[in-house]
Amino acid sequence: MLEFPKDFAWGAATSGPQSEGNFHKPNQNVFDYWFEKNPEEFYDGVGPDTASNFYNDYRKDIPLMASAGIKALRTSIQWTRLIKNLDTGEVDPDGVTFYNNVINCLIENGITPYINLFHFDLPIKLYQEYGGWQSKHVTDLFADYAAQCFELFGDRVKNWFTFNEPKVILDGEYLYQFHYPLLVDGPAAVQVAYNLNLASAKAISKFKIWKKENNSNATIGTILNLTPAYPATNDPEDVKAATFATMWDDNMFLDPAVLGHFPAYLEKILTDAGVIWESTPEELQIIKDNTVDVLGVNFYHPERVQRPSVSAKSLQDWMPDIYFDNYEMPGRVMNVDKGWEIYPETLYDIAVNIRDNYGNIPWFVSENGMGVSREERFMKDGEIQDDYRIKFIKDHLIELHKGIEAGSNCHGYFVWTAIDCWSWKNAYRNRYGLIRDDIHTQNKALKKSGHWYAKISSDNGFEI
């Protein structure tokens, strides 16, 4: 029996824009706007307007989650649902009522709410009027929105998070064109990275004020998708490529969040390239003074890189990937449907890195899961027989347990996701849930993995 620490949090993660649908929202986010403008760019033409209908079904969905052994749910508040006037911060009464009801329903069903404030879903108005995350004014608006959330829900929510996967905002919106506004602008991505770190720190500053005024024992963190880069070989040039990739993908957000400063190695490269972010001493002090209490780690796949085939000194537009090429390891195990390598051992490496280089900060796996397409092919007697998902989760939990045994301060595991959810441009192409959602009828039922997860959650471990 592989047993986990006492009070280990067995949870699941989702997000507001991927689960709720657009019902009664006073504002559009970037995905609402993009789908309205170009529905053909979304898989099967399915947009975020219904998603998994959580807005209407939460009173049924939450008990179903509890039956799958989910004892903590990480979800997000939609800025565009809660705030009516984005400039003044005036709240929308329907949004306040909805989130109050969801939080209360979670608690009534024995599920601890973990609330994230931003999951890729910036209000489109803030792009159109201010330039989105390229604007430092937007970082102030975000902090004000966060303060509203603490005031409205902080009496019941004890686990807060500022951002989910800020690195994906750079990749999707400013580098590789899979999120609106589909830009390719490396220097802009650098500034956005800085501004996101600043926005998180400003929100944490507001949280500290609220916490002191309310004598609260709540904590605040951030959620990062960590993909430490492995070099293709031990050749110094491959190792150098992997060092930069790790600094850009992980440490650019991990170091400010936990240590209060950016990596000097990365700052020098960006400075030498003439693309370093615009900052002020006052802003850097805000980042230094407002580090996180806890870290959420999303992990799906490793990153493997090698020396770039073209020198970074060549005349070319600046992009982060001029310093490395991706490498595909022969014989790797793959999730072919998603195109991601399966390598659970990385989770152990992440655990040891946090232990050794980040003060052994309290952390938890905030997302880990396997997306598979055409899951109906595994339907038998009305239930999805997703043994592949059970194996994926089990293999990662084994490596996580090794990390905990080695002294890493991990206190939870959250599977992505509870109920099959809408996934941005990919819509429902790949399914991740412990619970199946027939999006045509909105009928929902546990998969085999949901029954299995309920048992390991109850037992606080599993047989190996």
**Could you write out the DSSP letters of every residue in 142-189?**
HHHHHHHHHHHHTTT--EEEEEE-HHHHHIIIIISSSSTT----HHHH
CA distance linking residue 297 with residue 399, whole number of Å: 14
From residue 459, alpha-carbon distances to 6, 12, 184, 401, 417 in Å are 11, 17, 48, 15, 20
CA distance linking residue 392 with residue 398, whole number of Å: 10
List helix spans (H) across 358-386.
none
Please pick, among 283, 303, 367, 399, the residue that the annotation labels catalytic. 367
Please pick, among 20, 165, 173, 303, the residue that the annotation labels catalytic. 165
124 touches 30 (CB < 8 A): yes
**What single-letter DSSP state applies at residue 334?**
E
Instruction: Identify the residue whose tokens are 């407002």.
Output: 290
CA distance linking residue 277 with residue 189, whole number of Å: 9
Q: How many residues are present in the chain?
A: 464
289: number of Cβ within 10 Å: 12
12 touches 415 (CB < 8 A): yes
Catalytic annotation on 367?
yes
- The catalytic site residues sit at 165, 367
